Amino acid sequence: MSQAGVHISVLYQPVIDALQPHADGRYIDGTLGAGGHAAGILQASAPTGRLLGLDADTKALAVAAQNLARYGERALLIHSNFENLKSIAAANGFDPADGIVLDLGLSSMQLADAERGFSFLSDGALDMRFNADNETTAAELVNALDEKGLADLIFEYGEEHASRRIARAIVNARPIETATQLANVIERAVGRHGKIHPATKTFQALRIAVNRELEVIENVLPQIVDTLAPGGRVAIISFHSLEDRRIKNFFKSSERLRVLTKHPIRPTREESIANSRSRSAKLRVAEKIL
Ligand SMILES: C[S@@+](CC[C@H](N)C(=O)[O-])C[C@H]1O[C@@H](n2cnc3c(N)ncnc32)[C@H](O)[C@@H]1O
């Protein structure tokens, strides 16, 4: 069993195998988290490989800094959204890069942090920002959008069919300040069927909206291709179809990439059992050809 809040890297070995890190290589991890994949890249590229790690969350960056301290100056960690990847890489000697990894979404540390409001099991304020410097929180969206705006957001980013019913219940229950309050409003509106909490898709939708998750992926994909050296590889793990579709279509349509995963790599049965967070993960890999 994993301890709550300890992050276990998803598809760890497949990511390292995909990137084939080597000494003297330059690598970028755009979603550092606890630094698990980053540590694997630094180990495999010893003694001279270097890694640039980004995270939008300063708390994650502090954990990664501790976990990667033993690699000294081989690891350079910067607080930033990965949508600035190209300019940060260029400014720090990581353009061109030999490999780039993104492991999207949130970490177990963030999910377990009650103050962040990512989980409907915690009574934290409904925040959901990866970067605490950003302005809009989930509570602001939930309390300010009109009913149609809320329903559209929940339908589009959550692929939730009960979006209208949920939006109406939210509007009637406002103001909503905490994650559990929202989860309970949704459960009362649509009932509970099966094991998955009825608020799951609405929470996903709010997180995507608060962090502009689909927009930042679309912004970073061309930057990754520009930044990779010819022969360099990109590995991206996504956790829902809205992200995966964008990555798949971009890889397929780019003339500068050769797709190495005709079908996405999925966790083994053993990994899914050991780490339930990995269950929906899909890894896609491509190589820059020109
Ligand atoms: C799933 S965790 C990464 C875990 C990491 N691969 C590991 O092995 O420890 C995702 C991390 O990416 C960060 N993140 C998500 N979207 C981001 C973005 N657009 N820019 C920078 N960091 C982001 C989150 O704050 C979180 O710490």
pLDDT tens-digit readout, 253-262: 999 999 999 9
- What digits encode the pLDDT tens for the residues 203-228? 999 999 999 999 999 999 999 999 99
Evaluate: CB of 130 within 6 angstroms of ligand 1.
yes
- Residue 166 above 70 pLDDT? yes
pLDDT, position 224? 98
Q: Phi and psi at residue 24, in whole multiples of 5°?
A: 75, -5
Distance 30 CA to ligand 1 centre (A): 7
User: How does DSSP classify residue 122?
Assistant: S
Evaluate: CB of 81 within 6 angstroms of ligand 1.
yes
Mean pLDDT of 182-188: 96
Let me know the angle formed at the C-alpha of 107 by 103 and 112, rounded to the nearest 5 degrees: 170
- Residue 4 above 70 pLDDT? no
Distance 189 CA to ligand 1 centre (A): 32
- Residue 69 above 90 pLDDT? yes
Question: Hey, how many other C-beta atoms are within 10 angstroms of the C-beta on 48?
Answer: 10
Contact criterion met (CB below 8 Å) for 223 and 252: no
Distance 213 CA to ligand 1 centre (A): 11
Contact criterion met (CB below 8 Å) for 12 and 35: no
Distance 15 CA to ligand 1 centre (A): 15
- Residue 70 above 80 pLDDT? yes
pLDDT, position 5? 67
Mean pLDDT of 237-243: 96
Name the closest-CA residue to atom 10, ligand 1: 106
Taken in order of first residue, the domains within the chain and their CATH numbers are: 12-109+213-288 (3.40.50.150), 135-210 (1.10.150.170)
Residue 148 binned pLDDT confidence (cut-offs 50, 70, 90): very high
- Residue 122 above 80 pLDDT? no
Closest to 17 measured CA to CA, from 99, 84, 117: 99
* Proportion of the chain above pLDDT 70, given as a percent: 98
Give the pair of three-digit tokens for residue 199.
């608020």
- What digits encode the pLDDT tens for the residues 91-116? 999 999 999 999 998 898 998 888 89
**Helix, coil or strand: residue 287:** strand
Distance 261 CA to ligand 1 centre (A): 22
pLDDT, position 123? 85
Q: Give strand pairing partners of 238.
A: 282
Distance 12 CA to ligand 1 centre (A): 14
Distance 55 CA to ligand 1 centre (A): 6
Mean pLDDT of 170-199: 94
- Residue 3 above 60 pLDDT? no
Pairwise CA distance, residues 152 & 149, whole Å: 5
**Average model confidence (pLDDT) for the chain?**
95
Q: Which of 19, 81, 107, 110 to mutate to test the pocket of ligand 1 (most atoms within 8 A of CB)?
A: 107
Evaluate: CB of 109 within 6 angstroms of ligand 1.
no
Q: Which of 130, 224, 278 to mutate to test the pocket of ligand 1 (most atoms within 8 A of CB)?
A: 130
Name the closest-CA residue to atom 3, ligand 1: 33
Give the pair of three-digit tokens for residue 259.
């797709």
pLDDT, position 7? 83
pLDDT, position 196? 86
Evaluate: CB of 55 within 6 angstroms of ligand 1.
yes
**Helix, coil or strand: residue 161:** coil
Evaluate: CB of 82 within 6 angstroms of ligand 1.
yes
- Residue 1 above 50 pLDDT? no
Closest to 73 measured CA to CA, from 49, 57, 54, 38: 49
- pTM for the full predicted model: 0.96
Residue 2 binned pLDDT confidence (cut-offs 50, 70, 90): very low
